[in-house]
Amino acid sequence: MERFAGKKWKDVEENYKKELLENAICRDCRVGSPLLNGEGMVAFAETLAVMGSVCDGVIKVDGEAVLYNPCIGNNGEPISQKELDAMFEEYKMGLEDNFEDQIYQFERNCKNSPHVVLLGAGASVATIPNGDKNGKKISAMKGFIDKLGMRPVISSINIQTTSDNLEDIYMEMYERNDCELQRIQLEDAIEKYFCEFELPDTPTIYDYLLLSLTKKDLVATFNWDPLLVEAYTRCTRITNNLPQMAFLHGNVAIATCEKDMVLGSPYARCSRCGEMLKKVPLLYPIKEKNYNLNPYISMSWIQLEQYLQIAYRLTIFGYSAPKSDQAAIDMLKQAWGAVEDRNLEEIEIIDIRPEEDVIKSWEDFIHTHHYSVFDNFFDSALGKFPRRTCELLFDNTQMNRWIHGNRGFKRGMSFEELEVYLKDLLQNENEGKEILNDPYV
């Protein structure tokens, strides 16, 4: 990496630029946490960085920006990787000399680590259990064909599968050359069906969910419906300190400018170039999905991977890991890493299936007893310890502090009650402290 230090970005060969950017992370210059938007330090390695910016997860570096080694020694000269490794060994030898500072840094790092929430269809079902604003209910994949009114079309092509599940039916249509017209009709019906959903006027699970997290956290969803986007829009009336969002299979409520990687709503224009935004395509249930076909979807998976690697909490809400998502599960496993290395992290699963079935689905992610299973949102850490889920986990497991589990969100709260409840938490967040107050211990 030393050979790049001192060079301007424009003078680096294109093949090396691509190689450097593959594993680059744009970090906040103050706390070092990953950024999705804004200016910061683009770190390529411990001994190579450049000042740049990131917009919706896409890193940009000005051609005149100079690459440099951020590791500077006492003499003011850059430290080589060899010297850095030697210093680290020396640091480990002297751990006992600065024990209190280490404890503080450890606490700060854990509490400022992300809480990643992975959403499946069950989360949207829980959000509008009695139907949307107009009484329309989210349908499960089983029986979905009839819900779309597509049974006559499907019957006309003599589908071989006996399954009533959309995933099985669509996969067969995708693999058959004689079903292309009917498959396109089905895709159009699916998109129209989901575009019609509207949230009720009162708070829903998605409103609670978004307000239970902060901008250091990530909500990644497989769902096509617009409910999460609608909830995000109205939650900004209470606070802008809301989690990042990633739409792993596309979404009917989002569009993007592929040139400038600006994300917005369909029919809007790019805030940079003025061109109309293009809809992000929906990824349909086939075994071999191409996650790199669309730039936004590819970026969303990279974003999820980066957040999972440093997550302190992982919540899986209403996602059953269907067989058509095997590629997605493999990518999640790779990002999460070996379970024996996640001995501090905690996984919680919100699912209405029997607990033994749920654990079997996610056993490759669980370290021994570091998991909880709930059949509803309000019993989870998100519902019981909103906006301080990682703080609470550290205080409870590392500091052995008792939990007050009755201070969280309550069913049936109005938006006015939510705003009152969140007032002190939001005020504390605006104070700019490295470690936030934890009112749940």
Per-residue pLDDT tens for 180-192? 999 999 999 999 9
Question: How large is the average pLDDT for residues 66-92?
Answer: 75
| Placement of tokens 């990824």 in the chain | 283
Task: Please tell me whether residue 254 adopts helix, strand or coil conformation.
Answer: coil
- Cβ within 8 Å of residue 94, ≥6 positions away: none
What does the alpha-carbon distance between residue 200 and residue 428 come to, in Å, rounded to a whole number?
Answer: 30
What is the C-alpha to C-alpha distance for residues 18 and 15, in angstroms, rounded to an integer? Answer: 5
The confidence score (pLDDT) of residue 4 equals 87
Whether residues 185 and 210 fall in one domain: no
Residue 69 is predicted with a pLDDT of 85
Is 106 part of a structural domain of the chain? no
Q: Identify whether residues 153 and 246 lie together within a single domain.
A: no
pLDDT (tens digit per residue) in 378-407: 999 999 999 999 999 999 999 999 999 899
Task: Identify the domain boundary among 176, 195, 214.
Answer: 195
Assess whether 63 and 160 both reside in one domain: no
- 224 and 318 both lie in a single domain: yes
Q: Is the pLDDT of residue 309 over 80?
A: yes
Question: Where a domain ends, among 27, 61, 92?
Answer: 92
Mean pLDDT of the chain: 90
In a domain, 312, yes or no: yes
**CA–CA gap between residue 264 and residue 46 (Å, rounded):** 34
Q: 60-69, 71-80, 252-261, 347-356: which has the minimum mean pLDDT?
A: 71-80
Q: Is residue 104 part of a domain?
A: no
Q: Residue 255 carries which DSSP code?
A: E
pTM of the model: 0.77
Token pair of 238 as six digits: 């209470």
pLDDT-derived band at 60 (thresholds 50, 70, 90) equals very high
Q: What's the CA gap between 409 and 391, in Å, rounded?
A: 17
pLDDT band, very low/low/confident/very high, at 161 (cuts 50, 70, 90): confident
Tell me the two tokens of residue 418: 């939510």
Residue type, 228: L
Length of the chain: 441
| Helices 326-336 & 295-310 angle (0-180, nearest 10) | 40
Q: Is residue 101 part of a domain?
A: no
348 beta partners:
315, 372
Instruction: Please give the Cα distance from 30 to 28 (Å, whole number).
Output: 5
- Report yes or no on 250 lying in a domain: yes
For residue 226, give both structure tokens: 């617009």
Residues 211 and 308 in one domain: yes
DSSP H helices, 94-142, are 99-111, 121-127
Strand order in the sheet with 255-257: 262-264, 255-257, 278-279
Give the pLDDT band of residue 148 (cuts 50, 70, 90): confident
Q: Is residue 436, in this structure, part of any structural domain at all?
A: no
Provide the residue type at 424 as one letter: D
Return the pLDDT at 91. Answer: 61
Residue 317 is predicted with a pLDDT of: 98
Query: Given pLDDT bands bounded at 50, 70 and 90, which one contains residue 273?
Result: very high
Answer yes or no: is pLDDT of 377 > 90: yes
Cβ neighbours of 81 (radius 10 Å): 15
The answer to whether the CB of 286 falls within 8 A of the CB of 249 is no
What is the pLDDT averaged over residues 101-122? Answer: 93
Q: Residue 235 belongs to a domain with what CATH number?
A: 3.40.50
Same domain, 177 and 254: no
* pLDDT of 434 strictly over 60: yes
Cα separation of 436 and 425, whole Å? Answer: 9
Which of 167, 195, 223 marks a domain boundary? Answer: 195
Q: 313 and 248 in one domain? A: yes
Does 71 score more than 90 pLDDT? no
Give the distance from CA 28 to its chain's centroid: 18
Range of 187's domain? Answer: 144-195
Q: Is the dihedral of CA 390, 396, 400, 401 positive or negative?
A: positive
Question: Per mean pLDDT, which range of 46-60, 215-229, 317-331 is the poorest?
Answer: 317-331
Are residue 371 and residue 279 in the same domain, yes or no? yes
Distance CA 119, CA 126 (A): 11
Same domain, 365 and 246: yes
Residue 314 has pLDDT above 70, yes or no: yes
Same domain, 169 and 226: no
pLDDT of 95 above 60: no
Q: Is residue 107 part of a domain?
A: no
Residue bearing the bigger pLDDT, 100 or 318? 318
CB distance 178 to 157 below 8 Å: yes
SS3 324: helix
126 and 79 in one domain?
no
Q: Is residue 139 part of a domain?
A: no
For residue 358, count other CB atoms closer than 10 A to its CB.
20
Residues 165 and 56 reside in one and the same domain? no
For residues 256 and 262, the answer to whether their CB atoms sit within 8 Å is yes
Give start and end residues of each alpha helix (H) in 294-414: 295-310, 326-336, 355-362, 381-384, 389-397
Please name which of 260, 208, 142 lies closest in space to residue 382, comparing C-alpha atoms. Answer: 208
pLDDT at 74: 66
Domain count, the chain: 3
| pLDDT confidence of residue 46 | 82
The answer on pLDDT for 328 being more than 80 is yes
pLDDT confidence of 31, banded at 50, 70, 90? low
If you average pLDDT over each of 21-30, 191-200, 322-331, which comes out highest?
Answer: 191-200
The structure tokens listed for 244 are 């990042």
